[in-house]
Amino acid sequence: MADNKTHFDDAATYDRFMGRWSRGVGSVFLDWLAPPAGARWLEVGCGSGTFTGQVLDACAPASMSTVDPSKSQIDYASGQPISQRVDFRIADAQALPFPDATFDVVASALVLNFIPDRPRGLSEMRRVTRPGGVVAGYVWDFAAERGPTRPFRNAWNRRRPPGAVGRRRHQSRSHPNVKTIAALPEADRGRLVELVRAELTARPDGSITTSARANAIKARAPD
């Protein structure tokens, strides 16, 4: 997952941008997963630690380990109050640094689509799961353009300038380049703002609403 380094090096900014969405979908996922209390957990791709904290609060795990390839993300997450209860490691999902059959639950929150070799990553998740344990994960529904950045992406594609990043609906990493947007003339940036606003639903009190959808999977390791 090292090719995503440029996207996730600023962990604090990423958390401000995506944190509320991550917390919302993480809560729904854990309700659906209904994991047992006292389980040994591994989170693959902890990011800023949002989902890590949700597992600690809602699932009463016996232990919690988590990996992420980004040192910035690990540094940020391990600097949070949860740090005393979590084993944080910088590691690749395609080569997990744990023995076979170590964990009861292995979960990945909004990360599976970023793993370059997904079959290998899932195989690693299965390898470190004990017989009868659970492997699970979820990602935004990008194929249907239902991720949280949908209003922005729609607006960008409606006025995309020459040479800008286009739409690749099967990958979550295909967002307009921040530097490209910053380089737009002021009038074009203003037009982009208006297009984004047109994609949103305004309430009478001035607040706005939008929605997102995620797809989740879970499987039990054979006994």
Report the domain count for the chain.
Answer: 2
Based on the fold, state whether residues 22 and 102 are members of the same structural domain: yes
Angle at the Cα of 56 from the Cα atoms of 126 and 117, rounded to 5 degrees: 30
203: containing domain: 150-209
Q: Are residues 127 and 157 in the same domain?
A: no
Residues 93 and 185 in one domain: no
CA separation, residue 22 to residues 91, 98, 130, 178 (Å): 21, 26, 27, 21
Q: Which residues of the chain have pLDDT under 50?
A: 1-7, 162, 165-175
- One domain, residues 128 and 157: no
pTM equals 0.75
115 plus 29 within the same structural domain: yes
Angle at 62 between CA 220 and CA 52, to 5 degrees: 80
Asked whether residue 49 falls in the same domain as residue 111, the answer is yes
Kindly state the DSSP code that residue 212 receives in the 8-state scheme: -
Contacts of 21 (CB under 8 A, 6+ apart): 148, 212
Tell whether 132 and 202 lie within a shared domain: no
Does residue 111 share a domain with residue 204? no
**Domain check: are 156 and 185 in the same one?**
yes
pLDDT in the model for residue 172: 43
Are residue 50 and residue 109 in the same domain, yes or no?
yes
Alpha carbon distance 117, 196 (integer Å): 34
Residues 162-208: pLDDT tens digits? 455 444 444 444 445 567 777 888 888 888 888 888 888 778 887 87
Question: How confident is the model at residue 4, as a pLDDT?
Answer: 43
pLDDT reported for residue 199: 83
- pLDDT score of 54: 96
- Give yes or no: residues 132 and 162 share one domain: no
